[in-house]
């Protein structure tokens, strides 16, 4: 499981396509192609325009089909942009140094969605990993206009980031939908930039394959799961560069931010997106304050499972039946935990009456069920005795 965005440099290259006909039969007709509707398997209310042409003695029929999909794409695709991560190129030490100026180059390309226009500025949501490490960010609009973007804030836990750009050339803004009412089988459209800006504005269709999927994430890449992200699963094709793009419902509303894909050769057709209901409060915090304010107990912690068995009895003095919990490694001075009297080597087993067996479970409870300023009831073992603590949660800096 991992994040991805295209690392290919921007190319100004046009593709050329040629077609040929063999075994021509006089009077043959070109068969019209019917596109599937986003609302069902037929082109419901599709409008068609046909013209006949004679080319080299052959009669052709040109049919323009307008379906629910094409209408939605026409109305919403301009709200999806390209996002380029710019970083200073590492200089060749053997090249002559003609000046101090260092040029930035494109280190990766993803997508973003314009969700708000306020005065002469516009705001874009994308993925944290798309802009991570950037020394500059460039946004490319659907018409090719390039704008320098300011990163207002990023959040590694939800993989979201908010950008700000000049809004004078922006007209289309995405409308938020409600991801809580989505059902498996509901049709969706994904719009983004697979493989970079050379395929900008690419459209794929599919269905919601599942809701409330929990995907484990290793945030710091240490081999241990740090977080479980709740995501939407879709079979709409999502490729490198789609990260940060839009997942849209049949009403043309934004219901997800495409973020991840399971990268296994044996797995096909599984794309994942951050539900918009999960994203909205994070977007608001990042736009207003540049960060998400999450609660903290004020302790450094470790999974009990990582402590060798001999130390559990000799140093922690735990009862033999206790197999899960969180060991307090240190307590931050003047924190909620310190004020409540918690100490190093306390083993936390319960929060607000709910058992917790790992750091992951503790973090999920704190970030999803509590807020800064709440009083948290904690049960922890100290020298073999179960202790009760009440602490006030402070902001996680």
CA 371, CA 293: separation in Å to the nearest integer? 8
- Given the DSSP bridges, would you call strands 347-351 and 354-355 parallel, antiparallel or unpaired? antiparallel
CB 100 within 8 A of CB 151: no
Separation of CA 282 from chain center: 12
The verdict on whether 129 is a catalytic residue reads yes
Rounded-to-integer distance, Cα 99 and Cα 87, Å? 18
Q: H/E element holding 72? A: helix 68-76
Q: Any catalytic annotation for residue 352?
A: no
- Active-site residue, selected from the candidate residues 37, 84, 179, 243: 243
**Got the DSSP string for 287-355?**
HHHSS---EE-SEEEEEGGGS-HHHHHHTS---TT----EEEEEE-TTSHHHHHT--TT-EEEEETTEE
> Does residue 159 have an active-site annotation?
yes
Separation of alpha carbons 396 and 183, rounded Å: 35
Beta-carbon contacts of 106 under 8 Å, excluding residues fewer than 6 positions away, are 9, 10, 84, 85, 86, 138
Q: What is the C-alpha to C-alpha distance for residues 296 and 393, in angstroms, rounded to an integer? A: 5
Q: What does the angle CA 353 – CA 356 – CA 361 come to, to the nearest 5 degrees?
A: 125
> Which residues are designated catalytic?
129, 159, 243
């Amino acid at each position: 499981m991992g994040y991805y965005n295209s690392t290919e440099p921007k190319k100004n290259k046009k593709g050329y396509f040629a077609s040929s006909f063999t075994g021509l039969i006089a009077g043959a007709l070109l068969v019209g192609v019917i596109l599937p509707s986003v609302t069902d398997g037929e082109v419901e209310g599709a409008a068609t325009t046909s013209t006949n042409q004679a080319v080299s003695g052959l009669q052709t029929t040109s049919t323009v089909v307008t379906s629910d999909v094409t209408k939605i794409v026409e109305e919403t695709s301009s709200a999806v942009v390209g996002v380029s991560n710019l970083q200073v190129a590492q200089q060749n030490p053997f090249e002559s140094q003609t000046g101090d100026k260092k040029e930035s180059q494109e280190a990766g390309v993803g997508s973003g969605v314009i969700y708000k226009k306020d005065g002469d500025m516009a705001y874009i949501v994308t993925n944290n990993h798309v802009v991570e490490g950037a020394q500059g960010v460039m946004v490319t609009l659907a018409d090719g206009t390039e704008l320098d973007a300011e990163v207002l804030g990023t959040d590694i836990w939800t993989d979201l980031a908010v950008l700000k750009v000049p809004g004078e050339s922006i007209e289309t803004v995405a409308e938020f939908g409600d991801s809580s009412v989505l059902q498996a089988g509901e049709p969706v459209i994904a719009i983004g930039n697979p493989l970079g800006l050379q395929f900008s504005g690419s459209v794929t269709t599919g269905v919601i394959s599942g809701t409330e999927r929990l995907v484990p994430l290793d945030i710091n890449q240490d081999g241990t799961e740090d977080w479980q992200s709740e995501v939407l699963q879709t079979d709409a094709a999502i490729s490198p560069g789609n990260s940060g793009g839009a997942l849209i419902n049949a009403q043309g509303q934004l219901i997800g931010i495409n973020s991840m894909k399971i990268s296994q050769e044996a797995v096909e057709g599984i794309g994942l997106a951050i539900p918009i209901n999960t994203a909205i409060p994070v977007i608001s915090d990042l736009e207003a304050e540049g960060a998400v304010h999450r609660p903290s107990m004020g302790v450094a912690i470790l999974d009990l499972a990582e402590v060798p068995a001999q130390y559990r009895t000799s140093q922690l003095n735990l009862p033999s039946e206790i197999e899960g919990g969180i060991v307090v490694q240190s307590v931050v001075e003047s924190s909620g935990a310190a004020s409540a009297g918690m100490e190093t080597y306390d083993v936390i087993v319960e929060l607000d009456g709910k058992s917790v067996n790992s750091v992951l479970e503790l973090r999920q409870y704190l970030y999803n069920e509590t807020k800064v300023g709440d009083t948290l009831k904690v049960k922890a073992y100290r020298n073999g005795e179960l202790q009760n603590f009440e602490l006030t949660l402070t902001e996680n800096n």
